[in-house]
Structure 1
Amino acid sequence: MGTMDDLLSPEVVARLAAAVSTAMPGRELPSLVRAQTAVVDRRLRERVDIVRDALLADLPEGFDVVEALVPELSTSPLFSGWMIWPVTELVTQRALRSGSTEHFDSALELLAQLTVGLTAEFAVRDLLNERPERALSTMRTWLEHEDENVRRLATEGSRAYLPWAKRVPWLIAHPSATQHILNAAYRDPAEYVRRSAANHLNDLSRIDPDLVAATAGRWAEHPDDNTAWVLRSSLRTLVKRGNPEALALLGFSGDGLSVAQPRLSADAIEWGGTVEFTAEVTNGGSSPAVVAIDYAIGFLRANGSVSPKTFKLGSRSLAPGETVVVTKSHSFRPITTRVYYPGAHFITVQANGLLSPPAEFLVQNP
């Protein structure tokens, strides 16, 4: 099984070249042919750029060429999967080079067409960066589209902190600008869209927690069968931070909570090993408590700093005076999404955002 990088393999680039040749008979594509070998041993993002630039070089100048090409490609059985990503970026680059408002709007229409085959969420960021308000105005209309992929493009493409994607500083500076999109999407019939809306609102926790809590509060006033799940996902960051409004919306309570320092099974673990711990959570109040329990690992970074990452443990109901013991193990086996460094780490446990004292341990040299 290949890596993510192999999703845009030489074979995939060759199929794209064949699809373009079919759509534009007689057109020479020397740059796209060279791209078939140029993508080898490159990361996925680099491969996308290589193929996009090859298309820009091989095709005649002007947005009109792209505007005619995309409908032709969309009917080709060869045109599918990850080869669509560089084509979405071809569309945005040609539109931005043109500088025409008409071409800007047409590019958004083409992205909505292409996203049915593979998400155009990364390419739309270029248009958002150029003219955010105009792009959002069109993206709001996508929430009425019959295809869930187009509806999701509105919510996912306009996320403040979309993974893998370019930042759009204007979205971060104007966190309320996408409220119309979110309010139309959180009750969408497709889970795909609802999940995107929840992730989008959760992103805004990093910018404006009050806005996130207020938005979730409005959604909670008129719930449907899916609202409870959407709220849990949307508020997950605020719950980890112990935000009172978020905790109350999700039914968590407890004024007299305490969390003891975690007890570790060992003060040091082997490289690639597992750290095990237990911790006590006590309801010292006079009323029952519903408690969200999480834990955080303080991961050592390359520069010597320690960066905590929070993980869920679950929720418990505690009677007045009751203590619950939570047990967990966390693996340090190698994974592609995190680099481990030998040295001092720590664990904390939290209940409704209330942190325990940290317990330190060493990750030994490999």
Structure 2
Amino acid sequence: MPTADELINPRTTDLLASVMAAAGAAPAAALRGCGALLDELPFGRRVTTVRDAVLADLPDAYPAFADVVRTALSRPDFTGWTTFPVNAAVTERALACDVFEPGLELLAALTPRLTAETAVRPFLREDLPRALRQVLEWTGHPDHHVRRLASEGTRPRLPWAPRLTALVTDPAPALPVLDALYQDPSEYVRRSVANHLNDISHDHPDTAVATAARWLARPAPTTPALVRHGLRTLVKAGRPDALALLGHDPAVRVRVVGPDVRTPEVRLGEHLVFGFEITNTGSRGARLVLDYVIHHRKANGGLAPKVFKLTTRDLAPGERWSAVRRHPFRELTTRRYHPGVHRVRLQVNGQAHDFAEFTLDTPTGAALTGPDGTSPAPHREEAAR
């Protein structure tokens, strides 16, 4: 994942200064000077620093401000991370000037250059019903980036962005947006719908399952895959109604042998290797969703489980299937590994089976923690176009 300085840096601000100056904000002095202020700042502070420079250089009145931004959009080099702080500036200026719908429309024009999903959220917090009326119109937009903005921008738990508390409490107001998009022809849009449904499942599993069931009652050919992705957290948690909706019987009769740990001692940077065997002992064919759970050692000596996807497989009555899995233990910015005894177990249709132990060795200082220096980059098919 790129670091903050690879995304927004003095080169970015120099380019943005040239773009804005040519679009009518000459001499763009604040932008030309803010690159020197970015050193060692985390990503969020870089965005706000450049945003404030945009606000300082562009006109105070919203119509003139928007004219400069729209003129900049005529330039092909105004794209990617150059636009990200401008999105934030549009939101700041539009809300300060009480220019609601035009501000959202300008974000829709910007989002094909690099997603404006974070920038729409203050509008949703300011006036949810009013913002959702505009968002619902986006679901019929000819540009798939704008349609995707409707789903992604309203996600209750969008990564790297403040949660939308109102939609965490009650996701129902945004459901018409998802209903309009779950059959979208763009996989990019459908992926966002699935992730939005997964967000809902964290706080309202009944609503998520009921929504998925409603979509499966009127499916497109792509709907089963969307629902599988949208219910993935509930499937990993072994939620019976989610498993049943996807055709997985939580009470399936299977015999599980393993996991057979082939690497009882693992160093950070190496792989845990384990084998297993599963037999369908029932009288009917079984559709199995197979996961494995790593119980990571915590700093206090306890264990914290994390579920990882293995595969989905159909087994005929009496059929036996065996495989070997390699699980990497890499240095990550999002997890600190602690040395000691860990566990691995298999999970079949949400049901946990026996575990096996292995020892992880982590050299002092080798493992990292937190998103230090990494990009809270929104999920996009491209960083720049």
- Regarding TM over 0.5, the answer is yes
Give the match's secondary structure for 1:297. strand
User: Deviation digits for residues 165-189 of structure 1, max 9, x if unmatched?
Assistant: 1211111011122110111101111
User: Deviation digits for residues 213-253 of structure 1, max 9, x if unmatched?
Assistant: 11111111122221222122112122212222222232223
CA distance in 2, matches of 1:70, 1:300: 51
Q: Give the superposed CA RMSD.
A: 2.2
Farther off after superposition, 354-363 or 189-198: 354-363
Question: Residues 28, 212 of structure 1: CA spacing in aligned structure 2 closer, same or farther, 3 A cutoff?
Answer: same
Question: Which is helix-richer, 1 or 2?
Answer: 1
What are structure 2's unaligned runs of at least 5 residues?
Answer: 364-385
Identity rate, percent: 43
Question: Residues 237, 16 of structure 1: CA spacing in aligned structure 2 closer, same or farther, 3 A cutoff?
Answer: same
Indicate conservation of the 8 Å contact 1:293/1:352, yes or no. Answer: yes
Given the alignment of the two structures, is residue 74 of structure 1 paired with residue 70 of structure 2, yes or no?
Answer: no
Match of 2:106 in 1: 110
Indicate conservation of the 8 Å contact 2:258/2:276, yes or no. Answer: yes
Question: Residues 282, 194 of structure 1: CA spacing in aligned structure 2 closer, same or farther, 3 A cutoff?
Answer: same
Higher relative contact order (CA 8 A, sep 6+): 2
Aligned residues: 362
Task: State the 1:305 CA deviation.
Answer: 5.1
Farther off after superposition, 250-259 or 355-364: 250-259
Farther off after superposition, 144-153 or 175-184: 175-184
Task: State the 1:354 CA deviation.
Answer: 0.2
Give the match's secondary structure for 1:146. coil
What TM-score does the superposition give when structure 2 sets the normalisation length?
0.87
Match of 2:82 in 1: 83
Q: 2:123 aligns with which of 122, 127, 148?
A: 127
Match of 2:375 in 1: none
Indicate conservation of the 8 Å contact 2:62/2:93, yes or no. Answer: yes
Match of 1:54 in 2: 53
CA distance in 1, matches of 2:35, 2:13: 6
Match of 1:239 in 2: 235
Indicate conservation of the 8 Å contact 2:337/2:362, yes or no. Answer: no
Match of 2:367 in 1: none
User: Deviation digits for residues 63-92 of structure 1, max 9, x if unmatched?
Assistant: 334222221111123311111110010011
AA matched with 1:45: G
AA matched with 1:187: Q
CA distance in 2, matches of 1:301, 1:94: 45
Task: State the 1:280 CA deviation.
Answer: 3.6
AA matched with 1:81: G
Match of 1:294 in 2: 291
CA distance in 2, matches of 1:168, 1:175: 10
Indicate conservation of the 8 Å contact 1:281/1:351, yes or no. Answer: no
Matches for 1:32-51 after TM superposition, within 5 Å = 32-51=31-50
CA distance in 2, matches of 1:121, 1:111: 9
AA matched with 1:75: S
CA distance in 1, matches of 2:349, 2:35: 52
Match of 1:281 in 2: 278
What TM-score does the superposition give when structure 1 sets the normalisation length?
0.91
User: Deviation digits for residues 95-152 of structure 1, max 9, x if unmatched?
Assistant: 2223x2xx01111111111102111001111111211221111101101111111000
Farther off after superposition, 336-345 or 221-230: 336-345
Match of 2:221 in 1: 225
Indicate conservation of the 8 Å contact 2:9/2:38, yes or no. Answer: yes
Task: State the 1:260 CA deviation.
Answer: 4.8
AA matched with 1:277: F
